[in-house]
């Protein structure tokens, strides 16, 4: 019998295209569904999810949370994204997202900004174009979640400002360039 095992699996960070319309619309890989207390994390070596921890605080993720493929940030992770939509999705699903803002955040002394996006194909959310269109209460909930979700672990998180769609697109573009610089083969000169 022939061996039909693959020598390597597809990797969601490196093998899934960001999308031809990035940074305006992009693919987002969801690691953590809305309503979860489980902190799933992409294992960078295998491309699989592992359970990093169960949240110590009495909070759940307010929206679907994941990363943007083929991006890289200063923390050596792909760019994080919080995707607003009507329903939770299964971990490792990917969807089309549209950036509406960026939440500037410091996590244990490191810059760890989060893109705030809407699901580009969700009829309830797709018409939002900028974070200032969201109800103030929704932003307050997002801020409070990120300020509190590590408190009982005695880890410090500081949420700074929510900035608009233009800065979100700039952040995505910069993280795409950083990914290209670090992961794409160099051309011979």
**Whole-number pLDDT of residue 106:** 86
Average pLDDT of span 142-149: 89
pLDDT digits (tens, 9 = 90+) for 37-68: 999 999 999 999 999 999 888 899 999 999 99
Distance CA(108)–CA(95), nearest Å, equals: 30
Q: Report pTM.
A: 0.91
- Three-state secondary-structure class, residue 132: helix
At a CB cut-off of 8 Å and minimum separation 6, what does 72 contact? 78, 79, 175, 178, 179, 182, 183
Distance CA(22)–CA(106), nearest Å, equals: 25
Average pLDDT of span 134-160: 88
Helix (H) or strand (E) holding 65: strand 64-68
For the cut 50, the answer to whether the pLDDT of residue 189 exceeds it is no
Do 82 and 28 contact (CB within 8 A), yes or no?
no
More confident of the two residues 86 and 155: 86
Q: How confident is the model at residue 186 (pLDDT cuts 50, 70, 90)?
A: low
Q: How confident is the model at residue 1 (pLDDT cuts 50, 70, 90)?
A: very low
pLDDT digits (tens, 9 = 90+) for 58-94: 899 999 999 999 999 998 999 999 999 999 999 999 9
Helix (H) or strand (E) holding 117: strand 114-119
- Three-state secondary-structure class, residue 97: strand
């Amino acid at each position: 019998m022939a061996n039909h095992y693959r020598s390597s699996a597809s990797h969601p960070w490196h093998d899934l295209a960001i999308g031809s319309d990035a940074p305006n619309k992009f693919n987002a890989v969801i690691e953590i569904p809305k309503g979860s207390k489980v902190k799933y994390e992409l294992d960078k070596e295998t491309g699989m999810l592992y359970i990093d921890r169960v949240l110590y605080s009495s909070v759940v993720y307010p929206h679907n949370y994941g990363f943007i493929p083929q991006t890289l940030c200063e923390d050596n992770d792909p760019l994080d994204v919080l995707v607003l939509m009507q329903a939770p999705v299964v971990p490792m699903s990917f969807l089309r997202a549209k950036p509406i803002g960026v939440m500037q955040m410091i996590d244990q002394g490191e810059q760890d900004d989060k893109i705030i996006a809407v699901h580009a194909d969700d009829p309830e959310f797709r018409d939002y174009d900028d974070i200032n269109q969201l109800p103030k209460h929704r932003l307050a909930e997002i801020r409070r979640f990120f300020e509190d979700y590590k408190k009982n672990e005695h880890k410090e998180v500081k949420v700074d400002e929510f900035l608009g769609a233009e800065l979100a697109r700039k952040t995505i573009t910069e993280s795409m360039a950083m990914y290209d610089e670090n992961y794409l083969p160099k051309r011979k000169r």
